[in-house]
Structure 1
Amino acid sequence: MRLTKFGHACVRLESDGQTLVIDPGTYSEAESLAGADAVLITHEHPDHIDIDKLKAAQERNPGLTVHTHPALAAALGVTAAAVGDTFTAAGFSVRVVGGEHAEVIDGLPGCPNVGFIIDGVYHPGDSLFVPAEEVDTLLLPASGPWLKHRDAIEFVRAVKPARAFPIHDALLSDLGMNNFDAWLEDETDYARIPLGESVTIH
C-alpha cells in the first residue's frame, strides 16, 4: 500500500491500481483528488472537506464514490457511513469508528466525526477515539484547538500502533512541527511524511 501525504488532514492510499482519498479539505491540494476512485470524509469542517473540489472531482469521474457520516451524507447526496459499518472502497476494507468531534470548550463544536480504519490504517479525523481493533498505522493529529501535545502522546500510547505519521498540521510552523516531532519520536515508530511524498506500508 502506498500512502501519500497532502496538505493538513488529507492522505491518499493506493493499492492494486485503485486510489482512496481521505479528508481533501480547503488546506489540501486539488491534485489530491486526481484519479481518485473513492473518498472518505470524517466530518463537515472545511479543513476536511472542500465541497467545490469534491464536486469538480465527481464531475470528472461520475463513478467516484464518497462516504461520510449519515448527516453530512444526506446533505451532500453521497453514501452514509455510520459507526460500526464495514464496507469496501476503492478495493480497501473500511471500518467506521468513533462518532463525535473532540471538544474544544463548552461542548463545542458538537458535531459528528467518524474515524476510518482502512486495512489497518487509522484516520481519526478530529477525534482521539481509541478503537478496539489493532491499528498498524496511526495518522496522528498534530495540531488543533482541541489538541495539546499530552493528548497526542496519550492517544498514541492508548492506540499502540506499529507506526505513526502526523497529520492535521497545516497551522504549525516548521518550528512547531519540529517540536511536536521531538515529543513523539520516542513513543512509537514515528516519522513525518513531507507534503506530496509517499511511503510504502504493509
Structure 2
Amino acid sequence: MKINLSKLSKKHIAISIGILVISTATITAITVGDLQSKIKITYLGQSAFMIEADGKRIYIDPYNLPEIYANKPADGVIITHSHYDHFSRTALNLISNNLTEHVGPDSMATYKNFFNVSAINPFENTTIAGFNLEAIPMYNLGNSPMHAKTQGWCGYIIEIHEIRIFHAGDSDNIPEYEDLKGKIDVACLPIGNRRQTMGFSEASEAIGVIEPEYVIPMHYWEIKPKSFKEYCAKDHPETTFKIMKEGNVFYI
C-alpha cells in the first residue's frame, strides 16, 4: 500500500514493519504483516464493484455479471437507483441467496417487491454485512429528468476498518459533497457525462471538494479513464487515480 507521508496521522493507514534480527552469522529481515486486514475492491464494469473484507462480500450495483459470480455469493448488495445498468434482477438472482442482505432507496418499490430489502433514504444510516453504511443524495443538477432529486436515490459511504469508500452512483457534483470534505478515502466517481452524470470537468471539481486519497473512475462508457487521470493530474497531484478495467483488483 502506498503511504502518503502527508497523511500519516490517519488511523487507517496499514503499515508493514521490517524488523532486523541480528545474529553472529546473518542479518535477517522479518516482515510483520499489516496492522489491519486489507480490503479488496474488484471493479466489475460500468458502476459495479465487489468489496471483500473480513470474509464478507458486498456488491454495489451489480450488472451484466458473468456466470462465474454464482460462485461468489453476496453477503450484502447495495443498489443506488433503478436504471437497468445499476438494478439488474438477472445479476441479483445470480449472487443472492436467503442470507443476502439488500439495501436500496426507499423509493424503489420494484426492488422491494422482488428482494428482501432494507429501505433507506438520503442522510440515513444502516449496516450491511456488519459494516456501517451511510446514504448520500444522488441526483442531477439543473432540469435533467434522468436522475431527479425527488426520486430519493442514493450514493453510499461504506466504512470498513475506519476506511471510508464512497460510491456516487450516477450523481452530478452536488452541493451535499461539501459535507464529505476530507472524510473519504476511496471515491468511485462517474465520468461519462451523456447528460446523466459528471463529465471530466465536474468530476475534477468534485475531487477538489471531497479531497479523497484515491479515485476510481467508473461509468465512462466509451471514454478512456486514463484520459481523465491525465486531465486531473495538474489540479490533483496528491490524489492517486486507480484506473481499473473489468476484473481488476485494488487492495487498500
- TM-score tier (shorter): 0.7 to 0.9
* Secondary structure, aligned partner of 1:180: helix
**In the alignment, what sits opposite 2:207?**
156
Contact 1:97 1:131 in 2 (8 A): no
Q: 2:98 aligns with which of 62, 70, 83?
A: 62
CA distance in 2 between counterparts of 1:199 and 1:102 reads 29
Q: 2:89 aligns with which of 32, 51, 66?
A: 51
**In the alignment, what sits opposite 2:12?**
none
Contact 2:121 2:153 in 1 (8 A): no
Matched, 1:116 2:160: no
Q: 1:137 aligns with which of 173, 183, 186?
A: 186
Q: 2:110 aligns with which of 69, 72, 75?
A: 75
* Secondary structure, aligned partner of 2:153: strand
Q: 1:92 aligns with which of 131, 138, 157?
A: 131
CA distance in 1 between counterparts of 2:132 and 2:233 reads 29
Evaluate the alpha carbon distance shift between residue 161 and residue 65 of structure 1 in structure 2; reply closer, same or farther with a 3 A threshold.
Answer: same
Evaluate the alpha carbon distance shift between residue 161 and residue 40 of structure 1 in structure 2; reply closer, same or farther with a 3 A threshold.
Answer: same
One-letter identity of the residue aligned with 1:39: V
% same residue: 23
Evaluate the alpha carbon distance shift between residue 131 and residue 36 of structure 1 in structure 2; reply closer, same or farther with a 3 A threshold.
Answer: farther
Evaluate the alpha carbon distance shift between residue 32 and residue 181 of structure 1 in structure 2; reply closer, same or farther with a 3 A threshold.
Answer: farther
Q: Which has the higher contact order (CA 8 A, sep 6+)?
A: 1
Q: CA deviation at 1:55?
A: 2.8
Evaluate the alpha carbon distance shift between residue 81 and residue 24 of structure 1 in structure 2; reply closer, same or farther with a 3 A threshold.
Answer: same
Contact 2:167 2:188 in 1 (8 A): yes
Contact 1:166 1:192 in 2 (8 A): yes
CA distance in 2 between counterparts of 1:37 and 1:161 reads 27
Per-residue displacement from partner, 1:19-66 (whole Å, max 9, x unpaired)? 11001124x5454562210100000111111112213433xx111111
Q: CA deviation at 1:185?
A: 3.5
Evaluate the alpha carbon distance shift between residue 97 and residue 31 of structure 1 in structure 2; reply closer, same or farther with a 3 A threshold.
Answer: farther
**In the alignment, what sits opposite 1:39?**
77
Decide which structure has the larger Cα Rg and report it: 2
One-letter identity of the residue aligned with 1:75: T
One-letter identity of the residue aligned with 1:162: E
Contact 1:39 1:66 in 2 (8 A): yes
Question: Which runs of structure 2 are paired with 1:167-186 in the superposition (5 Å)?
Answer: 167-169=218-220, 171-173=221-223, 176-186=224-234
Q: 2:242 aligns with which of 175, 187, 191?
A: 191
CA distance in 2 between counterparts of 1:113 and 1:32 reads 26
CA distance in 2 between counterparts of 1:156 and 1:168 reads 16
